[in-house]
């Protein structure tokens, strides 16, 4: 009968280990991920060289989208300095994973490709990383920026623009993985750069047995702050 008791204890121990392992995974979060928020919108835009740029061109690349207009005063609510920092550090963080910044103008009446190209040069954008673009049709632009990216902007009757700074991080499968709308204790720039690192780790480990750990992290909502 002693042996029988050992078997029962063994079964209890087994379930105990499983439960402790699951709780430890959730509490200590050895693997963190970014949520798979929703599908990123489909689009066709015109870039600073007058060439079409589409969401299909961005497939397979990690892309940070942001919104601005060239007449926006100064640093445009911090958008330009944030993207300059992301341009400087993002490609190094991503390593061999293709990375792009797409900055979309919400003021197509003024921001022609020539204006965008001049602005890109002024802020030191590297064309292989940082693309400037817009959609000439204001209705389609509103559909994309407001409806697809959930970013707020409004063209006033006098032609001036109201804009809330907004950044959207999209993975190579066309899925939104991060949205940066509100300031927190950590700056937007810090959070974006940290999240690029988290996403790069997940992409590098998305094959083989490590993939299971990442899927478990999604299942248990182990999201990076």
Partner 1 sequence: MRNLSRGLWLGVGAVLLIVLGWWAWDRFRPYAFHGTVLQSAEPAFDFELQSADGPVRLSDFRGKVVLLYFGYTFCPDVCPTTLFEVQRTMELLGDDADQVQLIMISVDPARDTPERLKEYVQYFHPSFIGVTGSEDAIAEVATHYGIYYQKHEGTPATGYLVDHTATITVIDRKGYVKLVFPYGTPAEDMAADLAYLIRH
Helix extents (H) in 29-164 = 79-94, 113-122, 138-142
Per CB under 8 A, 10 contacts partner 1: yes
The minimum distance between CB 45 and partner 1, in angstroms, equals: 10
Tell which positions 26-65 bind partner 1, by CB under 8 A. 35-44, 52, 54-56
The minimum distance between CB 3 and partner 1, in angstroms, equals: 3
Residue 149-188 contact track with partner 1, rule CB under 8 A, x = bound: ------------------------xxx-------------
Could you tell me how far CA 5 lies from the centroid of its own chain?
Answer: 54
Tell which positions 104-143 bind partner 1, by CB under 8 A. 139-140, 143
Per CB under 8 A, 194 contacts partner 1: no
CB 55 within 8 A of CB 43: yes
Cα–Cα nearest to 174, from 78, 50, 40: 40
Per CB under 8 A, 218 contacts partner 1: yes
Cα–Cα nearest to 84, from 66, 69, 70: 66
| H or E, element range at 39 | strand 38-39
Comparing CB distances to partner 1, the nearer of 61 and 71 is 61
Per CB under 8 A, 225 contacts partner 1: no
CB 210 within 8 A of CB 22: no
State whether residue 221 is helix, strand or coil. coil
State whether residue 26 is helix, strand or coil. helix
Per CB under 8 A, 148 contacts partner 1: yes
User: How far is Cα 104 from Cα 177, in angstroms, rounded to an integer?
Assistant: 18
Q: Which residues pair with 62 in a beta bridge?
A: 99
Comparing CB distances to partner 1, the nearer of 25 and 77 is 25
The minimum distance between CB 210 and partner 1, in angstroms, equals: 12
Chain residues that interact with partner 1, rule: CB under 8 A: 2-4, 6-7, 10-11, 14, 18, 35-44, 52, 54-56, 139-140, 143-144, 147-148, 173-175, 211-212, 215-216, 218-219
């Amino acid at each position: 009968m002693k042996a029988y008791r050992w078997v029962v204890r063994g079964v209890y121990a087994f379930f105990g280990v499983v439960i402790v392992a699951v709780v430890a995974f959730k509490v200590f979060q050895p693997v963190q991920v970014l949520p798979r928020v929703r599908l990123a919108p489909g689009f066709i835009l015109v870039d600073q060289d007058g060439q079409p740029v589409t969401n299909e061109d961005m497939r397979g690349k990690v892309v940070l989208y942001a919104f601005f207009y060239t007449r926006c005063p100064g640093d445009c609510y911090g958008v330009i300095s944030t993207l300059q920092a992301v341009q400087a550090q993002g490609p190094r963080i991503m390593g061999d994973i293709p990375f792009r910044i797409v900055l979309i103008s919400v003021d197509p009446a003024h921001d022609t490709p020539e204006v965008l190209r001049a602005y890109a040069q002024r802020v030191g954008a590297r064309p292989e990383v940082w693309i400037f673009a817009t959609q000439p049709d204001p209705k389609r632009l509103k559909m994309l920026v407001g409806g697809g990216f959930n970013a707020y902007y409004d063209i006033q009757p006098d032609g001036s623009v109201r804009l809330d700074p907004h950044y959207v991080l999209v993975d190579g499968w066309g899925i939104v993985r991060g949205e940066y709308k509100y300031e927190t204790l950590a700056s937007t720039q810090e959070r974006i750069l940290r999240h690029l690192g988290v996403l790069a780790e997940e992409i590098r480990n998305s094959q083989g047995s490590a993939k299971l750990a990442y899927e478990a992290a999604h299942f248990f909502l182990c999201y990076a702050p």
